């Protein structure tokens, strides 16, 4: 969308033009989410809205990029980490009719084989335990499923993850990052939504080490003059 230069019958300032490009980027990103979520009515409406501004290069570029391959069963694999935690995730679509289960299809828009009213259910296992059992805190569970919520693919994949090291917060973030990278193998057009949410890159922040003669990383002992 950023390469398009539409012709207007009236002068457009730089600020308005940047705002227009920003709105078109958001619409294109939402259109990709609607496509892979099987919401074809929304996809068609968004396509009509951005068609006059679309150069047609965006989706073709994504399709030409080299990406990881799925195995014989259509499963994707990715790994990531957070602090001292590391996670590996395997994902397989719950419905073979979804576009995410057929990433190698030819042509522009896949055939609509899944109804928008068809609600999908999935299983998420962390170290062979259900998500609600392994992560007892609601915030940790929401971290794990956030990549699926951002891309509109909640319930579209069965997920099995192995995680080790660190605490629950680091493990939840590590699993979330691995899931986001696995989604990219099924739906590469979700890169914009996942990148904007900060889910594709590992958070490099680490716990600051304790210093000599200090109680903690920066906390010093109480000093008295006498």
State the CATH number of the domain containing residue 101.
3.30.230.10
- CA dist 27 and 129 (Å) reads 38
Domain range for 60: 14-64
- Based on the fold, state whether residues 23 and 87 are members of the same structural domain: no
Q: Report yes or no on 210 lying in a domain.
A: no
- Based on the fold, state whether residues 82 and 190 are members of the same structural domain: yes
pLDDT on residue 179: 95
Residues written for the chain = 226
Q: Which residue has the tokens 């990715």?
A: 78
pLDDT on residue 74: 84
- CA dist 206 and 225 (Å) reads 35
| Whether 199 contacts 176, CB under 8 Å | yes
Q: What is the mean pLDDT of each run of 10 residues along the chain (226 residues)?
A: 54 78 79 72 78 60 54 88 94 74 45 49 91 95 94 90 94 95 89 88 91 95 86
pLDDT on residue 100: 56
- Based on the fold, state whether residues 56 and 83 are members of the same structural domain: no
- CA dist 20 and 22 (Å) reads 5
- Based on the fold, state whether residues 147 and 87 are members of the same structural domain: yes
- CA dist 45 and 109 (Å) reads 14
In sequence order, what are the beta bridge partners of 126?
A: 129, 161
Number of domains, the chain:
2
| Whether 194 contacts 180, CB under 8 Å | yes
- Based on the fold, state whether residues 136 and 28 are members of the same structural domain: no
Q: Report yes or no on 82 lying in a domain.
A: yes
- Based on the fold, state whether residues 54 and 128 are members of the same structural domain: no
- Based on the fold, state whether residues 51 and 112 are members of the same structural domain: no
Residue 78: closest CA among 180, 204, 186, 191: 180
pLDDT on residue 117: 47
């Amino acid at each position: 969308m950023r390469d398009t230069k539409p012709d207007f019958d009236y002068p457009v300032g730089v600020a308005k033009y940047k705002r227009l490009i920003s709105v078109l980027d958001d619409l294109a990103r939402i259109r990709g989410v609607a496509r892979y979520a099987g919401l074809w009515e929304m996809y068609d409406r968004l396509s009509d809205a951005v068609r006059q501004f679309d150069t047609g290069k965006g989706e073709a570029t994504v399709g030409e990029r080299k990406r990881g391959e799925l195995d014989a069963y259509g499963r994707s694999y990715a790994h990531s980490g957070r602090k001292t935690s590391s996670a590996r995730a395997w994902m397989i679509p719950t419905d073979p009719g979804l576009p995410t289960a057929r990433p190698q299809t030819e042509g522009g828009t896949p055939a609509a084989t899944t109804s928008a009213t068809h609600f999908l259910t999935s299983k998420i296992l962390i170290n062979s335990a259900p998500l609600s059992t392994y992560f007892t805190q609601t915030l940790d569970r929401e971290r794990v499923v956030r990549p699926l919520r951002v891309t509109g693919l909640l319930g579209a994949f069965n997920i099995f993850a192995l995680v080790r090291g660190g605490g629950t917060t680091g493990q939840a973030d590590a699993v979330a990052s691995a899931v986001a990278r696995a989604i990219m193998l099924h739906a590469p057009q979700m890169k914009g939504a996942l990148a904007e949410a900060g889910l594709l890159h590992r958070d490099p922040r680490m716990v600051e080490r304790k210093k000599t003669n200090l109680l903690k990383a920066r906390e010093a002992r109480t000093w008295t003059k006498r």
